[in-house]
Every structure is written in structure tokens, then in C-alpha cells.
Amino acid sequence: MSQEIKKIALLTGGGDCPGLNAVIRAVTRTAILQYGYEVIGYKFGYRGLYNNDFVPLTLESVSGIEHKGGTILYSSNKDNLFDYLVNEDGKMVKKDVSDVAVENMKKEGVDVLVVIGGDGTLTSARDFSRKGVNVIGVPKTIDNDLAATDVTFGFNTAISIATEALDRLHTTAESHHRVMLLEVMGRNAGWIALESGIAGSADVILLPEIPYDINKIVEKIEDRKKHGKPFSIIVVAEGAKSKDGEVVVAKIVEDSPDPIRLGGIGNKLAGDIEKIIKENEVRCTVLGHLQRGGTTSTFDRILSTRYGVAAADLIKEGKFGNMVCLKGDVISCETLENVIGANKNVNPDGELVTVARKIGISFGD
Ligand code: F6P
């Protein structure tokens, strides 16, 4: 006989992302209104689960949050309970403290844990599932780099903001005959750069998946000048690299499970291009966390709501160990075992790159 579910818990892990609040709201509302579950939320991701630090989630507490970026449950991208920094006799050591989390859930009578996060957070979700915890995953990341789903929530908001930034950079580029670079996020995947670049009429798009040659970029800029366009717009993914170069690392966050923070390629490239093209000023704008903050796009609010409702439905159906996902226009699910480590990168020969090339966009290759 399947277990009777009375109480569920939510947590948000990893970097914040537009749509987290909309998922929290949708899971909570569906859980309460349709299935009569009690709902709590652990604060600061897995850290809250370890410290038994939680808040009740009610129809009132999730009211008025659908459009807001960030997460009312707070988040952490440093806390992996399977490899957690603890103080033991005055010494900081890494330990597997996942049993403490399981005990905390038992103590509180939590029957199911809904984990809303990207690859790192969902890896722990899978590991808790392997320990026998009833887990449901919801795929979050502005990078859109999870293979198991066509789209992660947060991505649409990020590309909308990047596209608007490109629109705004166009006016200065045109007025001053400048080369304007926009550096966008995405880690080792070029989705944000590719889609905002097409939508924002970029002349050059630089992706981690297609290493660039600076001479080809300069050729494109010079060719535009010959055709009466003395300015150019370049969008560069933070993970882009030249044919003979390495990614540019902004910082190493030592206590993070994924310590490398990319960033800096835009300014480096602006300097390199300016050395070759003397008659145009080259400027770089780094969009940074603006891509993740503020108001959630309409698409992401709807996708997040669909994911949240689907997560609550999976609980009702007892389909644990799964992550909700979008395939085409259909919400379905995929086992966490298959989701983890399966990343999705831009296909250099894929349709979107081909479309961009056909309308004359250069990839610097
Ligand atoms: O994964 C989301 C993301 O915003 C990446 O695009 C970016 O590289 C990284 O997180 C930035 O991390 P942080 O918020 O820790 O600076």
C-alpha cells in the first residue's frame, strides 16, 4: 500500500533565479488546495535542512510572490550535506551529515522533500532519494543547461533582460560609432548569449561551444564598416574562449562545491580588439546578476507554475525520485538518476546557430 502523505517540505538551492517564488507558490497552493497537505519550507537550502530551520508555508505566506525574483526561502550554493564543513573538536572537517537531515525530516513528520535547484542541488536530491527519502526535483537555472528538460525556469527572464540590454547598447554604439560588447552569464553553455544575440540583433555572438579567432571578429567589424555600418554589437558568453585560449575565471569560491566563477572575457576581448581596430572605441558591459534579479517574465511565471503544480501532482501519484520537466509543450518527468550530469550545450551545427549564420551573424570562427 502506498504511503499516506500528510506533510511536505520545500527547499531552494544554488544561485537564485527568477521563478523560484512562483514554483514555491504553485507547489504550496496545489498541495494545500487540492491535496490537503501541510507544507513547510527549509531556509537557505540544504543548510536549513541540516539545522532544522524552517518556516510554515501557507496560502497567506505564499501570497503576492509570483512575480518576484529571488526566493522567500533564501538559498545557498555552498552546502552539500554529503560533504559538509563541520567543526569537530575545534577543527573544520568535511563530513557526510545527510543522516542528520533525514532524522530532522523524520522528527518533523516530513513525508516528501521538494528540491528546487540546478545540477548541484539536484545531485544531492538524487543522493537523498538513494537513501530512501521521497524526493521530487524541479529544474532551475538561468543557464538552461539541463539535458532532461527543454527549458529550465529562469532562462526566459535572463534572455529578456540580455536582449533589452543589447537594444539599449545599440543606441550608444550607433551614436558614437563604437564596438559594444555585452558579457552575459551561462557558465559553460552559450544559450543566453545565443538567444539574446539573435533577438537583440548582435553582429557577433561568442559561445563556449564555438571557440573564436579574434581576426575573424575584426574582419566582421571591418566588413560592416565597408557596408555603411561603422558600429558593431558583440555578445559574449562568460564561458567563451579563443581557439588557442582558456576560459577567463573571475574568482574561485573555495568553500563552494562548484568553486569556479567565470567572468572577465568581455573586458579582455574589448582590450584585444581595440589594439587591432584603432579608429573605434571598444567598450564592454558586464550584465552580471541583473540577469537573475527583479521581476520574473510572463513565460517563466507560467512555466514555474506548471512545474510547481506538476511537482505536487507527482507527490499525489507517489512518483518519487523524479524531476518535473518540459518536453515540447508537455510537462512530464524524468528520473533524477538520468538527470544528473547530463548537461545540454549549444550544438554548433544546430538549427539556431544555422539560423543566425544565415542572417549574417558571425560566431568569430
Ligand atoms: O548558474 C547560474 C549562474 O548565474 C551562472 O550563469 C553564473 O556563472 C553563476 O551562476 C554565478 O554564480 P554566483 O551567483 O555565485 O556569482
Q: Does 187 contact ligand 1 (Cβ within 6 A)?
A: yes
pLDDT for res 255: 81
Q: Say which residue, 341 or 224, is predicted with more confidence.
A: 224
Mean of pLDDT values over 108-134: 97
Task: Tell whether the model's pLDDT for residue 239 goes beyond 90.
Answer: yes
Query: Which of 16, 185, 262 for a ligand 1 pocket mutation test, highest count of atoms within 8 Å of Cβ?
Result: 185
Active site residue 143: yes
pLDDT for res 2: 67
The letter for the amino acid at 211 is P
pLDDT for res 238: 98
The strand ranges marked E within the chain are: 7-12, 38-42, 54-57, 84-88, 91-95, 112-117, 135-139, 179-184, 204-206, 232-237, 249-252, 260-262, 282-286, 322-327, 330-335
Task: Tell whether the model's pLDDT for residue 1 goes beyond 80.
Answer: no
pLDDT for res 292: 96
pLDDT in tens, 325-339: 999 999 999 999 999
> According to CATH, what is the number of the domain 7-153+296-328?
3.40.50.450
Helix residue spans in 200-260 (DSSP H): 214-226
Helix (H, G, I), strand (E, B), or coil: what is residue 208?
coil
Q: Does 186 contact ligand 1 (Cβ within 6 A)?
A: yes
DSSP H helix total and E strand total for the chain: 11, 15
Q: Does 192 contact ligand 1 (Cβ within 6 A)?
A: no
Query: Number of C-alpha atoms within 13 angstroms, CB side, residue 186?
Result: 36
Mean of pLDDT values over 38-43: 98
Q: Does 185 contact ligand 1 (Cβ within 6 A)?
A: yes
DSSP-derived secondary structure for 43-64: TTTHHHHHHT-EEEE-TTTTTT
Give the architecture (CATH level 2) of 155-292+347-358: 3-Layer(aba) Sandwich (3.40)
pLDDT for res 73: 98
Query: What percent of the chain has pLDDT above 70?
Result: 99
Q: Tell me what the pLDDT averaged over the chain comes to.
A: 96
**161 grid coordinates:** 533582460
Q: Do domains 7-153+296-328 and 155-292+347-358 have the same CATH topology?
A: yes
Catalytic residue among 16, 111, 127, 143: 143
The letter for the amino acid at 336 is L
For the chain, the domains span 7-153+296-328, 155-292+347-358
Give the relative orientation of helices 155-176 and 191-199 as an angle to the nearest 10 degrees: 50
pLDDT for res 254: 85
Q: Does 193 contact ligand 1 (Cβ within 6 A)?
A: no
pLDDT in tens, 164-191: 999 999 999 999 999 999 999 999 999 9
Q: How far is the CA of 187 from the centre of ligand 1 (A)?
A: 7
* The pTM of the whole model exceeds 0.95: yes
Q: Whole-angstrom Cα distance, residue 47 to residue 31? A: 24
Q: What atom in ligand 1 is closest to the CA of residue 118?
A: 1
Q: What atom in ligand 1 is closest to the CA of residue 77?
A: 15
Task: Tell whether the model's pLDDT for residue 3 goes beyond 90.
Answer: no
Mean of pLDDT values over 219-223: 98
Mean of pLDDT values over 311-331: 98
Q: How far is the CA of 291 from the centre of ligand 1 (A)?
A: 10
pLDDT in tens, 247-302: 999 999 988 888 999 999 999 999 999 999 988 999 999 999 999 999 999 999 99
Q: How far is the CA of 71 from the centre of ligand 1 (A)?
A: 15
